[in-house]
Structure 1
Amino acid sequence: MLVVTIDRPQAMNALPPDASAEMAEVFDAFAADPAQRVAILTGAGQRAFCAGTDLRQHAEGASVGLPSSGFGGLTARTGLHKPVIAAVNGAAVGGGFELVLACDLVVAAAHAWFSLPEVRVGQIARAGGLVRLPQQIPQKVALHMALTGRRMPAQEALHLGLVNEVVPEDGDVMVAARALAHRLLEAAPLAVQATKEIASLAARGAHGDAGWGEQDALALVRAWRASGERQEGAQAFMEKRPPRWS
């Protein structure tokens, strides 16, 4: 399990470009390491998950370059079939919210909230939020957020399906995120990755109507078929024991 913590609480965990480049390297290594099967992304402190990028760079006319994998090394990343959990410990604003939208599962603290306030400061949400948000919640709700910058509290996000779990005020969002990660680690590794790949293709409109014949052409599905995970899962079920995934 990989835990990535944005550690700039004094700046509400806002990311300068060099931090995005550093995070890109971290997620590159995660993708390439077969021993790492799930990642958790969170922020330091309790105030903010991530407040996006530093607006002072825009005010000073600086050119804000990002790695090819996008803001935080994640928002434009392709081909990452391992699950990433967002542990939202506070405000997720602008690019920070877009990082949440790029994650697969979301656990949020009760005081957390989400917003895309870019239009209020003369900017446009360009790190995938305007595409992903209408895919994940009703379009008119998404437009209301994007056009006005309104804040969505954690409980509303849970109701709309944007968040998987809201941790009570007396709880710990990282404890809940680790518990969710351990549930993922109990499942067959290649089956999890192939499942994410198929679901991601369907969400993008690709292979949406594909039968299993076409899905079998996917590399991860072929690897899963050759891995023996199905046989081990069935054998463990018959023997009433936890499966031993290789």
Structure 2
Amino acid sequence: MLQFDTLSLSAKDQALILTINQPKSMNALAREVVNDLEAFLDWFETTGFEYRGVVITGAGEKSFVAGANIVQMNTMDEASFIAYARQMHSVTERLEALQVPVIAAVNGFALGGGCELALACDFIYSSERASFGQPEVNLGLVPGFGGSVRLPQRVGKAMARELIFTGRRIKAEEALRIGLANRVVPADELIDAAVAAIAEIAAVSPTAVAIAKRAMVSMDGLNVHDALAKEADAFIAAYHTEDSVEGRAAFVEKRAAVFPGK
């Protein structure tokens, strides 16, 4: 398994746990962190598919990711600043495109870029002490790592506008209520809950999960007619996989399916 300066990797069952390991800076998204996230994705996209899912969390008890590294941002010239934003856009899009599910295990502050990183994951599990927000307006900024696109998809346009325009921070229970988080659990159970979700996913067809994820990402922003066409394409593609042949045969034969992953 690769070693990184700002990230740590560990495996539990069929889940790969990626920890942003910069607790002194509240795991802020410095350029070095973003570079390591890109390197992780390069590795996982070519060699990491022995795992059935990825769990992203932050080191320490206080913060998932506190946001962009504002101190570092203040030293950037315009070209560096633009490159930084585009690099994070690339990271979030690549997370969405991974063939396996990605779960954000939010253990503390998920603010600004941290909330946006969590939004790029397939869903969010939150500890009871976590908090979320897009506070960029307090700095005279706006979301720059996908928040103004992905937050409305999770919580609706009006709620997203309220959170972005006010910069208000919300606690875990409110994040659950508005649909930003899927579950809220005690902090000491957070990683186990995410790993258990990966284990549940690992019991079904990996090709079906990959096709479903790819199709759902491609449907975002489409009208119903065009989205249904994408769904039909995905349904046909899944039907022709070896996993589908095995799954349908197992159903007819009343036995457990053994999916080949093809």
TM value normalised by structure 2: 0.82
The residue aligned with 1:160 is 178
Which one is further off, 75-84 or 126-135?
75-84
1:85 deviates by 0.5
In the aligned structure 2, how far is the partner of 1:208 from the partner of 1:92? 35
Are the counterparts in 1 of residues 105 and 126 from structure 2 also a CA contact under 8 Å?
yes
Are the counterparts in 1 of residues 52 and 198 from structure 2 also a CA contact under 8 Å?
no
Cα pair distance change 1:230/1:60, threshold 3 Å: closer
2:207 pairs with one of 176, 180, 190: 190
In the aligned structure 2, how far is the partner of 1:80 from the partner of 1:67? 20
1:235 deviates by 3.4
1:173 deviates by 0.6
Q: Is 1:101 matched up with 2:115?
A: no
* Paired residue secondary structure (1:82): coil
1:53 pairs with one of 47, 53, 68: 68
Deviations along 1:165-189, whole A, 9 cap, x unmatched?
A: 11035x4210101001111111101
Are the counterparts in 1 of residues 16 and 55 from structure 2 also a CA contact under 8 Å?
yes
| Number of residue pairs the alignment of both structures matches | 241
1:15 pairs with one of 14, 29, 47: 29
Computed over aligned residues only, the root mean square deviation of the Cα atoms, in angstroms, reads: 2.4
Are the counterparts in 1 of residues 239 and 245 from structure 2 also a CA contact under 8 Å?
no
Amino acid across the alignment from 1:231: V
In the aligned structure 2, how far is the partner of 1:241 from the partner of 1:45? 45
Amino acid across the alignment from 2:56: L
1:232 deviates by 1.8
Amino acid across the alignment from 1:30: F
Cα pair distance change 1:137/1:208, threshold 3 Å: farther
Identical columns (%): 35
* Paired residue secondary structure (1:76): helix
2:55 pairs with one of 40, 54, 62: 40
* Paired residue secondary structure (1:66): helix
In the aligned structure 2, how far is the partner of 1:36 from the partner of 1:208? 35
Amino acid across the alignment from 1:108: S
Q: Larger helix proportion, structure 1 or 2?
A: 2
* Paired residue secondary structure (1:198): helix
In the aligned structure 2, how far is the partner of 1:167 from the partner of 1:9? 22
In the aligned structure 2, how far is the partner of 1:15 from the partner of 1:242? 44
Structure 1: which 5+ residue stretches go unaligned? none
In the aligned structure 1, how far is the partner of 2:84 from the partner of 2:225? 31
Cα pair distance change 1:97/1:243, threshold 3 Å: same
Deviations along 1:153-172, whole A, 9 cap, x unmatched?
A: 11111111111111035x42
Cα pair distance change 1:41/1:122, threshold 3 Å: same
* Runs of 4+ displaced beyond 4 Å: 214-218, 238-241
In the aligned structure 2, how far is the partner of 1:240 from the partner of 1:48? 47
In the aligned structure 1, how far is the partner of 2:16 from the partner of 2:66? 22
1:81 pairs with one of 93, 99, 114: 99
Cα pair distance change 1:54/1:206, threshold 3 Å: same
Q: Is 1:121 matched up with 2:135?
A: no
In the aligned structure 2, how far is the partner of 1:204 from the partner of 1:183? 29
Are the counterparts in 2 of residues 136 and 161 from structure 1 also a CA contact under 8 Å?
yes
Deviations along 1:64-96, whole A, 9 cap, x unmatched?
A: 44386526x632336333211101011101100
Cα pair distance change 1:210/1:146, threshold 3 Å: closer
* Paired residue secondary structure (1:75): helix
Structure 2: which 5+ residue stretches go unaligned? 1-14
Amino acid across the alignment from 1:232: E
* Paired residue secondary structure (2:93): coil
